Structure 1
Amino acid sequence: MSGQSWLVRRRSAAPLSTRLLVAQALVLFAGAVTAWVVASVVAPGIFHDHLVQAGVGHSGSEAAHVEEAFGSALLISFAVALLTSVLMALLVTGYFTRRVQRSTTQVSHAAARIAEGQFGARVPNPGLGPEFDQLADTVNELAERLGDVERTRRRILADLAHEMRNPLATIETHLEALEDGVRDLDEPTLAALHGGTQRLHRLAEDISAVSRAEEGQLDSRPVRTSPHLLLRAAAAAAQDAYDTAQVRLTIEAGGTVPDVHVDPERMGQVLANLLDNALRHTPPGGSVRLCATRPDQHWVELEVADTGEGITAEALPHVFERFYRADPARLRQPGNSGSGIGLTISRALVEAHGGGLSAHSAGPGQGTTFRIRLPAVAG
């Protein structure tokens, strides 16, 4: 190790409070010496000139004695005053440097705990001014967000493992039956195997899509589009599935509404998810209504309203969470092949367009309305 690098390491090893205190002491000492030198050089001459101007009648020896006495008194009193000021300044500086050191130590300890995964670590308010308060608030906000991310990550992993268990179990069961000769590789067996793999494939695609949407990394090409055109395209794509399920799908005229600036493909994906969700929760004989309205001059709203099962007040705030289902038993029902994150993807896509997606329901059996809110194009 070179002498220069050793010196740098030695200097960097000193605590911040010590370096601040030493620097302040050097500044105070230099100021005191400068003031003492200036006073000792300038003050006697000024005093002598005043004696001459005053015409004080003393002999040369008396005048010299008076000037010497003045100089001694001046320098002694000035030295005492400077020493007292330096000591007081050092005491105040030491107090504040200790407070700064305590605050920086708390920040470093909290950051170390956060780095170790202890996201409950917090930095107390140092009370040293807005800069240190902002630093503490930033560290605390970082810890809180990292804690939320970690909790979400654990929940997603647990939910993902749960969602994968069923299709994997189906595939494994049929493969074992084939190996044991219990089943033949017939059309129903192939359909079951293909269904399980397709469900896993859709799950993987949806997880990737919602992650990209929430991180703002989706490939989007917004253009000026008519809301009614979006609704008609979504209804046409879903009509066959609705006819098969015997659920009526209608588009309600909501009056004249302005255009919106969206990616038609992405917004079609949102409407397809909402229509698929409405179909799975609406029994035969029910209906689903599409409508575009203009609640005010700044926004356009697209509604997907069904007459199906409805949502309880307890479940309503959670419907956009990944893998959330108000009734877990619905996952096992035939034809319910959703990945569990269609609504999460839809909300992320709408928010990427500067809008919002909300759900409303009067309760079980009262149907559900999903409302897409998008900025209206002016002019």
Structure 2
Amino acid sequence: MAYELRRKDLEPLLLGAAFFGSGGGGTIESARHLAEHFVTGDYYPTDTVKVVSVDEATEGAAVMVAYLGAPEAINSATYPLGPVTAVQNVQARLASQSTKLAYVMPPESGALGFTVAALVAAKLGLAVIDADGAGRAVPSLPMLTFAAAEIDPRPAFLVSQGGLCVELDVTPRNSNQGGPTHQRDVSAIVEQMMRPVVADPEFGQFGGLAMWVMKPAEIRRATPIHGTLTRALELGRALQAGRIGSAQQMIGYLAEHCGIAARAISEPGELVSAEVDTSGGFDVGKVHIQAGQRTYTVLYQNESLLAWDSANPQPIVLSPDSVAYFVGGEGQAIFSNGDLLQDDGSLNPVIGKRPVTLIAWRAEAELRKPGLILDSFMQLLNTLGYLGPYVPLETLHAARKGEAA
């Protein structure tokens, strides 16, 4: 059922989305920075955003909109200038074809992705569809259901905060749309073309992206993962209300309200170090948590992809399965990878010595089945040094229990 978001709803929305983002999806800091400027005035004509379900999205076309680039770089944005201009370019292209753009959709679950989609919708008088392309955040475009559904990626506009617009047009071979195999390849090609663009000084490591225009008949096929904005909003409200004060309470909430069988994959420990390198539109790094004699290490490329326990010979979680941080004690409990460090590279003092627990859960079915999405995750894990197959979270957990016994 359709409903409206207001400025006060953006904080719980971005908090809940950050948890589901598996360490990525943009920083809470960048999402908050954008949200605090969401007021009716010279930039925004309204302070409300309409959210519609996939079934209700029948009044026109939809387009995916996002920031693409390094989370630390995006922290400086005050208004979503690049994403807005990118969508305006899509609107103009569709208007020339007598097609109406009615909806925007976030690419993934994440604080920045949901916030940007909401703000672009408010700016342009559109609605946001209550769905996304992964149910978590992902490092690359081929990992999204839009790519797996072989939605034509043209037109695709990438726009800097300063208004420099680049259109990426990968012309299909053989026919107007190309064959199914070609369309799967195109998302990877577009990704490879975009990363050097955002790394250019004119873009400063990030830009606004609009691509994957979907007609109403294509929206359902392209978005099998539904209700993710509402899920994030409700989790954020529960956090704000103090109903989730520990990792175990979070696990209980996920089971009861989201149907997610999450589990703690670490003992509560202290965040002892984190490292990051920003290049090519990615934040790449490691996070280390010390719990007694054990060191838990999370490897990420914007999003957390792999976690290790120093007491075990194999990983304790592999993407596309998700892993999130839960910080106990007083204060904010949810942090993305980019929120763990300050601009000078030091650890975020808000966390201090508060207990940090890693919570993991299995990815949506669409991300786990053989094909483009899972292959893309495995290729990325190979670059991080993992050369084995995808092993589901519950299998890894059972193996750890067996070793402990």
Larger radius of gyration: 1
Category of TM-score, reference length = shorter chain: under 0.3
Which is helix-richer, 1 or 2? 1
| TM-score when normalising by structure 1 | 0.21
Which is strand-richer, 1 or 2? 2
| TM-score when normalising by structure 2 | 0.20
